Amino acid sequence: MSSSTIFYGLGDFMTNIAFLPFEWVGNIFNYSVIVLGFVGLFYWLNLQKKMSDKAAKDPNQLK
């Protein structure tokens, strides 16, 4: 048994067992960041529309 067999075995173990949860959590984290970004975008666009409508109705403001 050579040392490369031990290191390859250890690498296969780490890849198959130890790093498996990171792949699952990584995808959930990525999707949640994307969804949070879109929610923030739509919130900001809605807030900006309200502010623009309010500014359009007020003729005494500085522009």
Residue 63 lies in a domain: no
pTM of the complete model = 0.57
Copy the structure tokens of residue 28. 């959930």
* Structure-token pair, residue 19: 């790093």
Judged against a pLDDT cut of 70, whether residue 18 lies above it is answered with yes
**C-beta of residue 55 within 8 angstroms of C-beta of residue 61:** yes
30: in domain: yes
- Say which residues have a Cβ less than 8 Å from residue 55's Cβ, sequence separation at least 6: 61, 63
Q: Note whether residue 62 is domain-resident.
A: no
Number of independent structural domains in the chain: 1
**Tens of pLDDT, residues 23-58:** 777 788 889 999 999 999 999 999 999 999 998 888
How confident is the model over 13-24, as a mean pLDDT? 80
The residue segments making up the domain with residue 45 are: 3-57
